[in-house]
Structure 1
Amino acid sequence: MPDALLEVDRISKRYGEVVALREMTFEVRAGEMFGFVGSNGAGKTTTMRIALGVLTADSGQVRWKGAPLTFETRRRIGYMPEERGLYPKMKVAEQLVYLAELHGLSAAAARRAAGEWIERLGLGARRQEEVQKLSLGNQQRVQLAAALVHEPEVLVLDEPFSGLDPVAVEVMSQVLREKCDDGVPVVFSSHQLDLVERLCDRVGIVRKGQMVACGTVDELHEGGPARVRVRVEGAGPRWVEALEGVQVVDKLNGSVVLELSEGVDDQAVLRAAQDAGPVREFAPHRPSLSELFRNVVTEETAA
């Protein structure tokens, strides 16, 4: 297993009686895209702000290449906040050059890097416009350029796809994958779970300030109950009611998704479906990341 570059090790944070983080722990490896998902208020943004030094943890540590993060190592992080972190009255090119120089680039290198990212992200026609006059989607592109302009060694992005049209989503996805291919670790949070599932090498699910599940999507499926997708022509889901240890957990385009308790024979379920009518579909069902996430939220509500 490759060594971790960015390590979040048991960080905790309280605001009075409110526990924002409780021993939050995960790691991100070189060239890995890590998806950070959870409900609003679960602790994702607080974790990112602690990693950036914007907030201080009550306990625990964030490390880069095995050593605690310092001001100098944090300068090598590309950060994209969920809220717009741009100067609204500055022009696009001027702003990116300024931010690149703040990260230590020379004036010439800053101009060159700003120009490259402006073109790469499709902002060439907007380079002399004030940020406040851009659409929200183009502001988001500028925000990404600001995170990339100093050639960071790690990217930490909070809801980077928010407000983007499908074309911009594809552009940003391609850029992030290219950075990973160059060995840069990428951490991003998102409520767009289909994108997380498509892009990420590993996913961490956060609940009430704790990491409750972490791994590849395949690993997150392991140990869960068996599910099958069944479509019986002309029959509703009532035929399932007579089956012990079987319950309907979803309905999809005329099919039902059944969850089988341990020990239930799927062939017995198939025979019952055939007795109910012509079976047009009977197949194992692999839950999406959205379903896995919903299960975690359901567990939280039931707790």
Structure 2
Amino acid sequence: MPHGPPNVVVMIEIQGLTRRFGDLTAVDDVSFAVHDGHMTGFVGGNGAGKTTTMRMTMGLLGVDAGRVLWNGAPITAANRQRTGYMPEERGLYPKQKIVDQLVYLGELSGMSASDAKAAIMDHLERFGLADRANDRVEKLSLGNQQRVQIIAALMTRPEALILDEPFSGLDPTAVDSMADLLREHTSRGIPVLFSSHQLDLVERLCDHLVVLAKGRVVADGTVAQLRNRGPQRYRLVLGSDAGWVRDVPGVHTVDVDGATAVLELTGETPGADQILLRDALSRGEVKEFARIIAPLSEIYREVTA
């Protein structure tokens, strides 16, 4: 049977991981947690240290300082074997049949050949590749090779998932299928850490975000928490000129264009938003008064600047 029991509770903690390559510190005292049943997005620019951190977590790269914990204890080889890992570089044998090499990888993870084949065919069906099971990998497009690499990580019913750029090269249909599969794992309590440059996708899928820049964690929290780090920005649209908002206490005017104003609450005056709205209503028509929700891309630029 597949070796990962359902409803496993696992938390992975990264504590002070550091890795140097000569004079370059690629990962510098990185700490964060990946909680059970949560999807954690790991984002950062090229060279930020994401892949190096994942490799150290999986024991594929030596650690200069820090440690990785699995449910509060140092991670073991057995824990790592129960982790579905997908590297950024594809590790498939191009001239071998898809189903044959996936069965082989399943057996290496402790599955029987029959259980492995059943899991493989289920995943191939979900990715629309069931009719390609006996094709050699080299006959597949890069996107379909990515699907096969994903199946290798997911088919063993792992207790945790660490995926390096799993959505790279996937078309929208495959992205949706992949997202559904990951949600199925988190619904069973599986912690999922994945890296991606697709910030809109990370924002849509993830419960938690960790942002790296130059080897260091520069932001760690939910999207809502990251949005609340800075001043709250609002848009006010009136039926007449909005220039008077510059004089409202506790409000910083970012921009005024005729009847439209973009404002930030400074925190200096309690209830400044209500004072502002009350003043606006006393002066005439208020067409809009709403908080501006910053996209993740904007938050990312701010924290990595």
Deviates more, 1:109-118 or 1:146-155: 109-118
Q: Distance in 2 between matches of 1:129 and 1:111?
A: 15
Contact 2:10–2:191 under 8 Å retained in 1: no
Gaps of 5+ in 1: 299-303
Q: Percent identity?
A: 51
1:294 aligns with 2:277: no
Secondary structure in structure 1 of the residue aligned to 2:47: coil
Shift of 1:148: 1.1
1:285 aligns with 2:292: yes
Q: Distance in 1 between matches of 2:263 and 2:43?
A: 26
Shift of 1:288: 2.1
Aligned to 1:247: 254
Contact 2:146–2:166 under 8 Å retained in 1: yes
Secondary structure in structure 2 of the residue aligned to 1:169: helix
Shift of 1:109: 2.2
Q: Would the alpha carbon gap of residues 173 and 271 (structure 1) be closer, same or farther in structure 2, given more than 3 Å must change?
A: same
Contact 1:93–1:118 under 8 Å retained in 2: no
Q: Distance in 2 between matches of 1:294 and 1:147?
A: 31
1:21 aligns with 2:24: no
Shift of 1:5: 1.6
Aligned to 2:47: 41
Secondary structure in structure 1 of the residue aligned to 2:210: strand
Query: What does residue range 19-168 of structure 1 map to in structure 2 within 5 Å?
Result: 19-168=25-174
Aligned residue pairs total 292
Secondary structure in structure 1 of the residue aligned to 2:125: helix
- Superposed CA offset, 1:102-156 (max 9, x none): 1122222222222222223221121111212212221111111010122211000
Q: Which of 203, 209, 215 is the equivalent residue of 2:215?
A: 209
Contact 1:13–1:20 under 8 Å retained in 2: yes
Q: Distance in 1 between matches of 2:130 and 2:261?
A: 49
Query: What does residue range 214-293 of structure 1 map to in structure 2 within 5 Å?
Result: 214-230=220-236, 245-248=252-255, 258-263=263-268, 265=272, 280-293=287-300
Secondary structure in structure 2 of the residue aligned to 1:212: strand
Shift of 1:269: 7.2
Deviates more, 1:104-113 or 1:191-200: 104-113
- Superposed CA offset, 1:204-237 (max 9, x none): 11122122221112222234202013457999x9
- Superposed CA offset, 1:235-255 (max 9, x none): 9x999999983325xx9xxx8
Amino acid at match of 1:286: I
Contact 1:239–1:273 under 8 Å retained in 2: no
Q: Would the alpha carbon gap of residues 4 and 184 (structure 1) be closer, same or farther in structure 2, given more than 3 Å must change?
A: closer
Shift of 1:9: 0.9
Contact 2:246–2:252 under 8 Å retained in 1: no
Secondary structure in structure 2 of the residue aligned to 1:245: strand
- Superposed CA offset, 1:76-123 (max 9, x none): 111111222211122211121111111122222222222222223221
Q: Distance in 2 between matches of 1:165 and 1:128?
A: 22
Q: Would the alpha carbon gap of residues 125 and 207 (structure 1) be closer, same or farther in structure 2, given more than 3 Å must change?
A: same
Q: Distance in 1 between matches of 2:10 and 2:121?
A: 32
- Superposed CA offset, 1:37-66 (max 9, x none): 111111111110001111011011112122
Q: Distance in 1 between matches of 2:86 and 2:73?
A: 23
Q: Distance in 1 between matches of 2:292 and 2:137?
A: 46
Secondary structure in structure 1 of the residue aligned to 2:11: strand
Aligned to 2:183: 177
**CA-based RMSD:** 3.1
Aligned to 1:301: none
Contact 1:240–1:246 under 8 Å retained in 2: yes
Q: Would the alpha carbon gap of residues 212 and 297 (structure 1) be closer, same or farther in structure 2, given more than 3 Å must change?
A: closer
Gaps of 5+ in 2: 1-8
Q: Distance in 2 between matches of 1:151 and 1:99?
A: 13
Q: Distance in 1 between matches of 2:68 and 2:50?
A: 14
Shift of 1:271: 10
Q: Distance in 2 between matches of 1:247 and 1:39?
A: 29
